[in-house]
């Protein structure tokens, strides 16, 4: 673990401004509740004011508008949460696997591996696949033939890149498989969570652009395009040919139906079903709050009655 740093040293590396003693020494990050004098924590809003007042942290990261909330030594930053993330990286650098191919991995002769690539235990990289410089595949990742992964990509255990999309045609009551002849193209600086699956395209490629962050257990259907710097939380499901814009966020267990377009800077709340295209930036929520069952059914019935009355 890296050695301790003063607040002044942290600001010299990351920017921001020290209020209070710049020589305050911290060794690690912690939550407001769990911090002690050797820790630096963060404060992002008034609902955490009581925790800030009670904290034993040695220092705090906070925004300009909150500078007077505490007299503890503090770093003032425009985006305290993002700043805290960078402070945490200083004390907890990402530990990657050793560079190279694990003896138990299977890499096709025709696959292309960039410089300093790490391929973990029991991974499979198919014929014609390519992995960019400094990328890391954790154990049991499968990259199907012909798929490409950019530079500095992290793929966590159990992820499958390039399995067939769900393409079937009804032929007089029998399902006929449609060959999935596209591939998957993953851009630079993408992170793909454990057990996430990204299907290959039916004809054209499925595309994950640069900087996209995918959580665990996400399903991305064939011919989907997720544009740059979008972040998607766990258990979301994206049906085929959906086109998701740049800098979007999609909450956990959200469902996006196929062939829809979502413009840039859209935020979709957890558990929301998106059944039509979103053509205006903003936040969209479709979650019906839970309740005791009898109360919920009464509320649902009342909504139906109001809907019929207004209709």
Q: Which of 39, 102, 222, 265 is catalytic?
A: 222
β-pairing verdict for 225-226 and 206-208: parallel
β-pairing verdict for 168-171 and 174-177: antiparallel
Phi-psi map region of 68: left, alpha, beta (phi>0 left; psi -120 to 50 alpha)? alpha
Catalogue the long-range contacts made by 142-149 (C-beta closer than 8 Å, 24 or more residues apart).
144/183, 144/184, 144/200, 145/108, 146/183, 146/200, 147/183, 147/184, 147/185, 147/186, 147/200, 148/183, 148/184, 148/185, 148/186, 149/186, 149/190
In the annotation, is 229 catalytic? no
Name the residues annotated as catalytic. Answer: 222
């Amino acid at each position: 673990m890296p050695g301790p740093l003063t607040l002044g040293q942290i600001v010299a590396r990351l920017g921001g401004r020290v209020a209070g003693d710049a020589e305050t020494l911290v060794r690690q990050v912690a939550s407001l509740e769990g911090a002690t004098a050797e820790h630096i924590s963060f404060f992002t809003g008034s609902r955490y004011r009581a925790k800030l007042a009670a904290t034993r942290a040695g220092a705090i990261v906070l925004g300009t508008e909150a500078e007077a909330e505490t007299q503890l030594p503090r770093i003032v930053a425009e985006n305290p949460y993002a700043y805290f993330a960078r402070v945490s990286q200083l004390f907890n650098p990402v530990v990657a696997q050793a560079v190279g191919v694990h003896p138990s991995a299977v890499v096709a002769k025709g696959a292309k591996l960039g410089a300093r690539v790490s391929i973990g235990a029991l991974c499979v990289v198919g014929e014609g696949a390519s992995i960019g410089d400094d990328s890391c595949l954790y154990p049991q990742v499968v990259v199907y033939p012909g798929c490409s992964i950019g530079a500095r990509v992290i793929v966590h255990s159990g992820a499958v890149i390039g399995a067939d999309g769900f393409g079937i045609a009804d032929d007089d009551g029998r399902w006929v498989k449609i060959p999935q002849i596209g591939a998957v193209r993953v851009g630079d600086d993408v992170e793909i969570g454990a057990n996430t699956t990204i299907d290959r395209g039916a004809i054209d490629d499925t595309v994950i652009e640069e900087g996209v962050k995918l959580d665990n257990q996400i399903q991305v259907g064939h011919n989907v395009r997720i544009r740059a710097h979008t972040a998607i939380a766990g258990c979301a499901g994206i049906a085929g040919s959906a086109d998701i814009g740049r800098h979007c966020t999609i909450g956990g267990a959200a469902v996006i139906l196929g062939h829809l377009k979502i413009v840039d800077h859209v935020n979709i709340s957890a558990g929301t079903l998106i059944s039509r295209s979103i053509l205006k930036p903003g936040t969209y929520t479709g979650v019906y709050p839970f309740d005791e069952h009898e109360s919920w059914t009464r509320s649902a019935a009342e909504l139906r009655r109001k809907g019929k009355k207004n209709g």
